[in-house]
Structure 1
Amino acid sequence: MEVGNGPTIANRIAARRRSMPAAMSRIADVVLEHPSAPVELTITELAERAGTSPATVTRFCRAIGFDGYTQFRVGVASEVGRGGADETWRADIGSEFAPDDTPDKVLRTLVSLHVRSLETTAAWVDLEDVSRAAHAIATSRHVDIYGVGGSAVIATELQRRLHRIGLSAHAWSDTHDGIASAVLQNGDSVAIGISSTGQTEQTVEMLAQAGAVGAFTVAITHAADSWMADVADVAIATPTPASYLRPDDMSVKHSQLLVVDLFYLLVAQQMFDEAATRLAATAMAVSGYRRDRQTTAPTKPAQEA
């Protein structure tokens, strides 16, 4: 296919957009908003970002005239290359940063954006919902936490904190393992789904399955009106990422980590005695593996004559 001589990818999408089902339309949104995304992402990663499946991505590629995802990526790479370095920079990095910014300016811009994200989260978060979820966690038999991709890191962090203060908790990033665990939950369990977009199909499926068997379900997401928020008993919405940040960039996880910290502390308050005992025990258990820095340099071996 002569990509260079044909219509642009944006024009191809526009020509077929009205006939696309909702799942394919979400892929179109990702591609139009971030033109270089297909070059940087695997088919699975693009599907996750759009909240759909790899098979739907393949159908999308064929709908706009490509034989498959590989051919689509080649077409995108060719088009991005023709767009010029400045356009590519704006698409991939954003207008907040210039390629000739000093390290000091880059740092100050990052700090400003991240502080703004945390402040917005603090202003947005519904403390009544967070408190309700924290109470459910503190009084639960077990906590299941679901997250894939970048969200798996946040899920694991929450699991580690809850486990350390004495709660039975597991973090699941594999869909099969997560669903197998979800069906074993009940009304004494809490299930937490973490997804930046709130549209990650695997995470939604795991959370919905846990809810179907009676678990109290919590969604942590940037999208309050997302699919995952709809299936949860409580949805904790964090701010939409700044324009230069991507939903799976670790930098946008700061607002979710703030919510994780808030959950952890509110849960620990409600089980103060047990939490304090557990924290002391775990700190003592690992203390032997920490070494103070040597105050004097080791003696250098004498050289042989």
Structure 2
Amino acid sequence: MAEKIALVTDSTNDLNPEVIEKYGIHILPLKVVYADRQYNDRVDITPEEVYATLDEETPKTSVPTPFEAQQMLGKLREEGFTHVLAVHISSGLSGTAEMVKMVSKDFTDLVVEVIDSRSLSMGLGFIVHQAACWLEKKMPFAELVEKARGLVDQLKVFFVVGTLEYLQRGGRIGKVSATVGEFLNVKPIISINSEGIYYTYRKVRGRRRSIDELFNIARAFIEKQKCWVAVMHGGAPEEVVYLRNKVAGLANVEKLVTGQIGPVMVVHAGPGLLGIAVCPALD
């Protein structure tokens, strides 16, 4: 029987809505949870709305519900899909991938493969986008899964934040040291390790120096091969233009994406995030 393959991810992917629509990518939204209300990430709340009340209340976040995953897989089955590739936010930062994996066991008539991206934002987004390009070329499911898994180890994500306070508060600080360095204006450049959790890649004194060093780190990877690059921000619209313009001048940048991180990411990063995701151009 011919394969009919669906591509599923979650709302932390930060892909452009036009890309999601073009390739028919299915999205499971995470939740932004306040004391008296709850929102679906990127569906009924915006990053600006989170920033507007951050001083009054820092919300919590949660994974999509198992019921939502069941509904999505059930709908895909009804639509005649035989295979599902689900690529999700790092399991070191969220239980989303594990939840989808558990729910998928109830769908014995669907072949479901869940990939832990060990990334987030456009790090996750680039894996999904690349998989969508391969899927458009009618790549068989087994090969699609293998190539998408291979991308996980090739992706690089680096970012700086305005303050480590929000990563601490949300319990996502991982191996990043939140010590006296904050008082000395030492800014950690953060990446994601092989376990999918945050760690300090490098330390730089001063905000502007940290942004320039972020560029230098990314440039070292970009100079090796053609790349897709994303320059993302959270409440730092002027600085993201500065960083984007520097990246745009590099010869190996085949695709350059700029955007703002989604509400769930805003909750954990707070204002002032600047990040770069680098992915080999493979399609």
Structure number with greater CO (CA < 8 Å, separation at least 6) is 2
Structure with more strand by fraction: 2
The reply to whether TM is greater than 0.5 is no
- The structure where helix makes up a greater share of residues is 1
Q: Which TM class, normalised by the smaller chain length?
A: under 0.3
TM-score scaled by length of structure 2 = 0.28
Rg larger in 1 or in 2? 1
